[in-house]
Copies of this chain bind each other. A is one copy, B any other.
Amino acid sequence: MKNMQHILFVFLIIQAIATDLFGQASVTVHHDRCVTFKVLGLYANSLYIEGLGNALGGKHFMNLSRDGIWEVTTPPIEPGFHYYQLVIDSVAVNFPGQPTYFGWGKETSGLEIPDDNLEFYLPHRTPHGDVSAKWYHSKTTNTIRKALIYTPPGYHVDLNLRFPVLYLQHGAGENEMAWVYQGKANFIMDNLISSGQAIPMIIVMDNGYAAIPGSENPERPSREDNDFEGLLLNDLIPVIDHNFRTIRDREYRALAGLSMGGAQAIRIGFSNLDLFGSIGVLSSYPGNFDVQSVYRAYDLNEELGLLWLGYGKEDKRYSKGLDFHHELRKEGIEHIWYECEGGHVWQVWRKHLYDLAKHLFK
């Protein structure tokens, strides 16, 4: 019996390879944005696909066909990038053979649903900038860390040019890779720069978690143990200014971030106006940071080249963003307010960067 099962299993694997199930699993995004997931699993009892953050709309239970292949086709899924997982007999895993992205505090499956009407974040036949991984020792964390740096097209060709710098931060549970891999920041900038809509700039992306030595959880330190501000000011900016052809002037240095990174941009940006001339806040709000003291201490219209706020209208943080917007308006502080369809998702942040970068350093 066991042997029969094995022969059948091998046969099914051969069949799977012969069809579209090379690697024993497949994901197919259809033109109508429905998605078919298939997994070969002869001895499994229950499989389902589950969106993380409700992106895919809950659980999609897979059905077992006679040939040992589990399969489900979802309803149409919203365009953009969505984290998800496969659950096999109660064990949550990443979908086999598919790329993963660091989110939810770990490598997590991600699904890209094309938007028929949007091409601004796709690679085109334009000049492309590079994304460099730079390893450096941080005194703040006493570890060797990695930052990603986008340099614009032509950076390596005319060595006399210097560029403004945007420090751009990810959200909770993500890391320095997110803006490139989930966000497509490099392609967004390539498209903006090659069409003359944005000034060529350097973008620096580091991990927003910077655990001080002795932290209990170095990967995800508590608020008290996280000194991202120290890292940014004392380690990262000096490393970048030393190694890249930056314009070392606050007017040409911006800080922006999404969600947790937006809160960091508010707190660190407004506390260090001698270093940052522009601030971008994506799907975030001041929280417990006392912005009123900043309004009292500075003429922000004088100090800030750009204050940019962006939100998705279906994001539960939208109303907090509106409050911030109204408060700034009441105080007479100039800023750009940008809102678009969508929730707390990467498709919104792609649109945010696309607009933010058009206004930066102008």
Residues of A bordering B, CB below 8 Å: 9, 22-25, 39-47, 86, 88-94, 96-100, 105-107, 123, 125, 128-137, 144, 149, 151, 156-157, 159, 186, 190, 242-245
For A89, give its contact among B45, B123, B125, B144 (CB under 8 Å).
Answer: B45
Residues of chain B contacted by A151 (CB below 8 angstroms): 132
Residues of chain B contacted by A137 (CB below 8 angstroms): 125
A242 touches B91 (CB 8 A): no
Task: Knowing A89-B41, A97-B107 are in contact, say whether A134-B144 is a contact too (CB < 8 A).
Answer: no
Task: Knowing A89-B45, A90-B43, A159-B159 are in contact, say whether A132-B132 is a contact too (CB < 8 A).
Answer: yes
A132 to B128, CA, bound (A): 12
- Oligomer: number of copies: 2
A99 touches B89 (CB 8 A): no
Q: Chain B's nearest CB lies how many Å from the CB of A14?
A: 15
A343 to B245, CA, bound (A): 44
For A135, give its contact among B46, B97, B98, B186 (CB under 8 Å).
Answer: B186
A96 to B47, CA, bound (A): 16
A91 touches B128 (CB 8 A): no
A42 to B123, CA, bound (A): 44
Residues of chain B contacted by A23 (CB below 8 angstroms): 105-106
Interface centre among A91, A96, A157 (most CB of B within 10 A): A91
Residues of chain B contacted by A96 (CB below 8 angstroms): 91-94, 106
